[in-house]
Amino acid sequence: QKEVEQDPGPLSVPEGAIVSLNCTYSNSAFQYFMWYRQYSRKGPELLMYTYSSGNKEDGRFTAQVDKSSKYISLFIRDSQPSDSATYLCAMNSNSGYALNFGKGTSLLVTP
Amino acid sequence: GAVVSQHPSRVICKSGTSVKIECRSLDFQATTMFWYRQFPKQSLMLMATSNEGSKATYEQGVEKDKFLINHASLTLSTLTVTSAHPEDSSFYICSASDGQGTYGYTFGSGTRLTVV
């Protein structure tokens, strides 16, 4: 079993929809959680960075961490075609350690 | 915000030659840099972790003599693919951390290596 599980999709939604992306993990020591967006043939771009449990909001993006359930989510409101990309969750137990990545979820927002 | 510059973005080389990829942190000191390889429609595969002034730590299955990593300063790390072969063709990405968790982990824009 991989330490981080993420449904690869693809996920297709109409423009304006609310998108919910999720990851589960098995290592209870993880406490730093990140969401990245990656466009084709580009490096991942950090979207959200949270420490421990709770919610964090930035514009149209909201990240949620539930450590008791070992479950993290990223919500995208008012989705746009430009949001079409692969979304990767990543996490680790120490800020100096390498990240553990999910496989990434491919999102397509249709006009 | 934190910026990591990676060059070149794309390189084509002949089989048997070596290729160097540079990764620079532009506005913070990267105490730790990570090198990843990514195959099409796959997630990132960690190749090695390097701390400034120390030898890199390679993941299992990654040949340290083939993928030479140098992290001589707090702003620069290099990956050299030696005696490249077509199977080394891939997307290589670096990531940098200041070790404090200040900026999360910032990634470079990636290098598309094609060995012909």
pLDDT tens digit at each of 116 positions of chain B: 678 999 999 999 999 999 999 999 998 888 889 999 998 878 889 999 998 888 899 999 999 999 999 988 889 999 999 999 999 999 999 998 887 766 668 899 999 999 99
Give A1-13 pLDDT, tens digit per residue. Answer: 678 999 988 999 9
The Cα B29–Cα B52 span in angstroms is 10
pLDDT digits (tens, 9 = 90+) for A72-94: 999 999 999 999 999 999 998 87
- Judge if the upstream peptide bond of residue B8 is cis by omega within 30 degrees of 0: yes
Give B69: exposed, middle or buried? Use CB within 10 Å, 0-12, 13-18, 19+.
buried
Partner-chain residue, chosen from B99, B100, B109, that has the shortest CB–CB distance to A43: B109
Query: Per-residue pLDDT averaged across A24-42, rounded?
Result: 93
Position B62 scores a pLDDT of: 95
What pLDDT digit, counting tens, does each position of B84-96 carry? 999 999 999 999 8
* Average predicted confidence (pLDDT) for chain A: 93
- Bridge partners of A12, per DSSP, are A108
Give B26 to chain A, closest Cα distance, Å.
16
Rounded CA separation A85/A79 (Å) = 12
Partners of A39 on chain B (C-beta within 8 Å) are none
Q: Which residues of A touch B (CB under 8 A)?
A: 32, 34, 36, 41-46, 49, 51, 88, 90, 95-96, 98-99, 101-104
Q: Which of B8, B5, B6, B16 is nearest to B66 (CA)?
A: B16
- Which residue of chain A has the CA closest to B90? A41
CB contact under 8 A, B107 and A90: no
**How close, in Å, is residue B38 to chain A by CA atoms?**
10
C-alpha B110/C-alpha A36 separation (Å) is 14
- Residue A59, pLDDT above cutoff 90: yes
Mean pLDDT along residues A30-56: 91
Give percent above pLDDT 90 in chain A.
77
The two tokens of residue B75 are: 């702003």
Q: In angstroms, what separates the C-alpha of B15 from chain A's closest C-alpha? A: 22
